[in-house]
Amino acid sequence: MLFLTILLVGCTDNEMATVKLESPASKVTQPAIDIEQHLLQLSDELMTYLKQQEFDKFIEHVDPVDGALFSFFADFGNPQGYRGPYITLTRKQMENSETEYIWGYDESGKAFEMTFPQYVNDFLLKRHGHTIVYTTVLFNDTSYDNAIINNTIHEYYPDAKYVEYYSPPLDENGRLFQAIRFVYQERDGRWYLIGIARDVNLK
């Protein structure tokens, strides 16, 4: 903390007194938050909201201007998307649990069309009908290098940070892994969710 020191000379006995005044600058200085710990904790909260279907609480952390991009595969931000463009939903659109959207396509061109809650349940929390157990959590890093589709978060959003939840493969061929990445960007001093990327092995 900064102080200003003033020497006061007494009028009668010439004794000097020292007075310390707090600098105005010290009043506005705030400690920087630990971004990594903040976003790890926030991601844990968002994952809980998704599992418990508390979408109203989840939506509060979505970017209020641009909404959130949901990439069906790892190439987050790619305008064309792997096998087709991805969808961006505003907060208001996420509040509507009845509207169906196309989230992605399989290798045959079949569209996966469903509501936001259905997508969360069937593709972010499950795979092939089985609940996914995410065992590894990383900050701004990935557990698996997908040889077919690259993680493009920082290619399209260089200032973004992300938290990855990774579930290792359970099959002998190492194919059935899945990762989801909560992607954040800062706006007006607050970190908002700008999207979720889903990464799976397509070999």
pLDDT tens, the chain, 203 aa long: 444 443 444 444 444 443 433 444 443 443 557 999 999 999 999 999 999 999 999 999 999 999 999 999 999 999 999 999 999 999 999 999 999 999 999 889 999 999 999 999 999 999 888 899 999 999 999 998 777 899 999 999 999 999 999 999 877 666 778 999 999 999 999 999 999 999 998 76
CB 103 within 8 A of CB 82: no
Q: Which domains does the chain have, with CATH numbers?
A: 33-200 (3.10.450)
pLDDT digits (tens, 9 = 90+) for 10-34: 444 444 443 433 444 443 443 557 9
